[in-house]
Every structure is written in C-alpha cells, then in structure tokens.
Amino acid sequence: MIRFVGTQTGVLLAPDCRQWIISRIDVTGNLLLGDLSEVRDALRILRGCEGGRYRVSQQAGDTVYWSHRSRLRSGKAYAKGPHITYMLRQRGYSGIEYAGSDQVLADRLLRLELRLGSQWLRERLGKTSVDLNGDESQWDQKIVDKSWLDLTADDLRKEWKEYFERMIGSGEMKQDSDVKERVMAAAETENRGKAAFGCWLMIQAEGWERAREAFTRPTWYRHLKVLRAAGLGDADISAGVVVPIRRRIIECQVVDTWEELRRAA
C-alpha cells in the first residue's frame, strides 16, 4: 500500500510500516443472498434496527448507515450490485471493468462494513502490562505501548462478526411462536423469564421507544440481556417481531473474493 501510494503521488514515503499511524480500519464482509430483491428486503429490515449500540444515522438509496459520525464504531450496509452499476456510469471511471455475468452475481451481494475509528484504536491499542519473566509469581512487569501491527486478521474478523451478529440475532429463533419458550429457557429464574417476556410483549404492543421508557435503565438492560440470550437480535427487538428474512441472512455464505463468489453461486 505504501509503495502504491508513493508511486501514484510521486512522493517518497517512509517504507517502514512501524513509522505509520493508522486512524481508521474498515472491515467488510459480503453476504451472498438469493437475488437483488432479497438483498433489498434485508436492507429494509436493517433500516429499522435501532437500540443499544445501533443508531440509524443516514439512509441513501440502497445504503443504510449506523452511527456514521462515531469515532468508535460505525456500520454500513448496502447492495453491492447497484453500487457497481453506479460507479461504472460515472464520467472518468478508471476502475475495474466488470463482465456482465459478474454484475449479475454482484446483485446478490449484501455488503456489511464495520469501521473501527480512532477512538477504538486508542482504546484497543492503549498501554498494557506484560510479564517479563513469563512467571506470574514474580510480578516483574512493565507498561508498553501496543501497535496497530499487533492486530491480526482474526481480531478484525471477530469485531465484524460480533457487531453484525448482535444486530441479526440467532438463526435458531425462527418465528414469534418460539420466543416465549426460548426466553424462559434463557432466564436465570422463572420470574425473570416472565418479566423479560412481558417486556417483549410491550415492545410488540407499544414499540421499542415507549417500552424502554416504561422501565428503569437497569431493568431495561436486564430484560434485553435475557432477550438477546434467547436469540433475538437488535433488528428483532427494534421491530417487535422476529424479522422474516433474518434466517436467510444468518445462513448465507460470506464471500471475500470474486473466485469465492463464482464458486458459491
């Protein structure tokens, strides 16, 4: 990347990665659905996903954003096929020329992007203690600065998965009739299960915002903890219903390259 930018700009850049500071990381995943209509159905559901860490902050065409100004985490979902078509129509476009068959395949892609911002990097890569001797009994430690170079691909995949899985929820929750049984099983006690299920019924009847106002903050988050443990995602909780396309989103395949897309299709 350093070499590429240097070549394009004609500027001699420091070649050592350790001399660079990263202020943002984008982690993307492409979900392969049945067709463009399924992708747009999924986007309609995701546009209503509010609550907890999710705040729909902007919408434009086949794109929805969550907390897009946040310096911690922000999310983005869009239909990849229409985005490619839009780019190809731009005057002066000089990128990849896609074959017609590739554009058809791209219409089946729902792209989910997680942006890890400067605040996330500061918190994740702040000072940490390390054991110099490898012997916990010695407590011979010092404080060191972690580098963005210490991040691994697995670290970033884990962040992406955790962010979007919480939004969508568990594939085992198939329909509304499953909710009560799974909520009761997820709760520590029968009374907590009944209370959490009562919260779910209020969300269905009054909507997410009105239901939240009916509980104290600790009680609300205690109920949400049970509902999420039962398999409900924030998209379900926002809508007050087990969203119909969630299972297809959960079970679809993640593809990272054109080769993977062609094989999966």
| % pLDDT > 90, the chain | 20
Question: For 204-246, what is each residue's pLDDT tens digit?
Answer: 888 878 888 899 999 998 998 999 888 887 767 776 666 655 5
- Residue 127 phi/psi, 5° resolution? -70, 145
Same domain, 36 and 161: yes
- Confidence band, pLDDT 50/70/90 cuts, at residue 48: low
Q: What percent of the chain has pLDDT over 70?
A: 77
| pLDDT beyond 60 at 136 | no
pLDDT at 14 (0 to 100): 84
Distance of CA 223 to the CA centre of its chain: 22
Residue 128 predicted with pLDDT over 60: no
Residue 250 has pLDDT above 60, yes or no: no
Token pair 């209020």 is found at 202
Residue 113 banded pLDDT, cuts 50, 70, 90? very high
231: region left, alpha or beta (phi > 0 left; psi from -120 to 50 alpha): left
Residue 203 within a domain: yes
Separation in Å, CA 213 to CA 31, 48, 51, 54, 237? 35, 19, 13, 17, 15
pLDDT greater than 80 at residue 170: no
Of 113, 128, 16, 14, the C-alpha closest to 63 is 113
* Residue 166: pLDDT over 90: no
The answer to whether residue 5 is domain-embedded is: no
Same domain, 125 and 67: yes
Q: Are residues 102 and 128 in the same domain?
A: yes
Average pLDDT over residues 147-155: 87
In 12-145, the DSSP E strands lie at 25-32, 56-60, 63-66, 73-79, 109-116, 127-131, 141-145
Q: What's the confidence (pLDDT) of residue 191?
A: 93
Amino acid 139: pLDDT: 41
**pTM (2 d.p.):** 0.67
**34 & 139 share domain:** yes
Distance CA(229)–CA(262), nearest Å, equals: 36
Residue 134 lies in a domain: yes
Q: What is the DSSP letter of 38?
A: H
Distances (CA, A) of 227 to 5, 179, 259: 48, 9, 39
Evaluate whether residue 14 is within a structural domain: no
156 and 183 fall within a common domain: no
pLDDT-based confidence at residue 156 (cuts at 50, 70, 90): very high
Work out the pLDDT band at 130, boundaries 50, 70, 90.
very low
Same domain for 194 and 253: no
Do residue 219 and residue 123 come from a single domain? no
The helix (H) or strand (E) run that includes residue 209 is: helix 208-213
Question: How does residue 182 score in pLDDT terms, banded at 50, 70 and 90?
Answer: confident
**Structural domain count, the chain:** 2
- Is the confidence at residue 151, as pLDDT, over 80? yes
pLDDT reported for residue 140: 46
Q: Is the domain of 102 the same as that of 192?
A: no
Distance between CA atoms of 57 and 67, rounded to whole angstroms?
Answer: 5
Q: Does 123 lie in the same domain as 93?
A: yes
Supply the pLDDT for residue 137: 45
pLDDT band at 126 (very low <50, low <70, confident <90, very high): low
Mean pLDDT of 193-202: 91
Q: Is the pLDDT of residue 198 over 90?
A: yes
Q: For residues 130 and 205, state if they share a domain.
A: no
Q: Which domain holds residue 212?
A: 176-232
